[in-house]
Amino acid sequence: MGTFDGKVIFDLDPPTAMKAVSIGTILDPNNENAFECLLAQYAERYACNDDYTIDLPVYIVTQGKKYIGHVGGEHTQQALRTRLQELVTNAANSESECGAS
């Protein structure tokens, strides 16, 4: 993950943990890392195009093991920040609604 991506993710509110995983790692059938295998499933289910290609880079947002959303393809720094912030904000809002009962 480059400086461009890191800066965008660093500026998200609430602060968000990130993990960069290469496409080779996700495609490795011998990968035994449970979270990376989960990311592979999410990429296949949500981020693949109809022709089974994927627009890189892809940012898959999770809350623990729960899929929140993704942003795929090249974006300007501002567009990437906006799209990721929407996902993070919606996840934070849904978490606080669940806890407000």
Other residues' Cβ atoms within 10 Å of the Cβ of residue 42: 20
- Mean pLDDT within 64-81: 94
| pLDDT band at residue 99 using 50, 70 and 90 as cut-offs | low
Ranges of each domain in the chain: 3-96
pTM: 0.85
- Mean pLDDT within 73-78: 93
Q: How many residues does the chain have?
A: 101
What is residue 73's predicted lDDT score, i.e. its pLDDT?
Answer: 94
Closest CA to 85 of 68, 64, 73: 68
**3-class state of residue 85 by DSSP:** helix
Model pLDDT for residues 8-65, shown as the tens digit of each residue: 888 899 888 888 999 999 999 999 999 999 999 999 999 999 999 999 999 999 999 9
CA atoms within 13 Å, Cβ hemisphere of 22 = 4
What is residue 32's predicted lDDT score, i.e. its pLDDT?
Answer: 97
- Give strand ranges (E) for 1-101: 58-63, 66-72
**3-class state of residue 21 by DSSP:** coil
Phi, psi of 93, rounded to the nearest 5 degrees:
-65, -40
| CA distance linking residue 95 with residue 82, whole number of Å | 20
